[in-house]
Amino acid sequence: MTPFLFLATLFLTLLRALKADPTDGFSYVKLSEANFQVQKPYDVSVNQRYSYIGGEHRLWVYKTDKPYSQTSNTKPRTEIRITGYDYTSGVWQFEGYAYVPSGTSGVSIMQVFGASTQATTAMLRVYNPSLTYYTNPVLIPNVYNKWYRVNVIHDTGAGRVRVYIDGVFKYETHDNGPATHYFKFGVYTQDNPSDYMESRWVGIKVLRKN
């Protein structure tokens, strides 16, 4: 192979990689309303913390709210737990478009639940005004008042998690050990929360590796 041909081949390979979408090689699973289980403070009705209008999930919670059950000692949340696709093996992916209004802080907006060393394998959180992976690193420095595409890939065999924002690779790290896993999105209170927390989501999808 001539030097020119080698460089041309390398350029094309890099170009394909840059254009590659995180969903390449994955298949979408079938989702319906039955797969979306709303978890909200136990003492309020669903419509006091959640709305679904025109394909948009809007979820909100107050830091003074109750947990999702009377026996739970967890912090307040309004989340959707995706049911029907719990997994212990394989490569799975969550996709959705998220919007966080200004002022929301100290909250998880998406998580991969299940791990052997702690409760979750992955969390995307908002800390005024950044989107972070747990508390570090920063994925988006200013997340407020704009829509962005979120793709989170969990490879259970490799024990790895990858995060893409607007189709751009942002972060890869280890997971937190084998367990039964599933995806959640919404608002789940974390450290130093704002009085009011909200996230909005459209285009929610679950994919698995072909």
**Tens digits of residue pLDDT in 86-137:** 999 999 999 999 999 999 999 999 999 999 999 999 999 999 999 999 999 9
Q: Tell whether the model's pLDDT for residue 156 goes beyond 70.
A: yes
Read off the CATH number of the domain in which 127 is found.
2.60.120.200
- Tell me the pTM: 0.91
Give CA–CA dist 18/21, Å, rounded. Answer: 8
Average per-residue pLDDT in the chain? Answer: 94
Give CA–CA dist 100/202, Å, rounded. Answer: 12
Give CA–CA dist 192/198, Å, rounded. Answer: 15
Give CA–CA dist 23/206, Å, rounded. Answer: 10
Query: What pLDDT is recorded for position 12?
Result: 54
Query: What pLDDT is recorded for position 153?
Result: 98
Q: Which domain holds residue 104?
A: 3-209
- Total domains in the chain come to 1
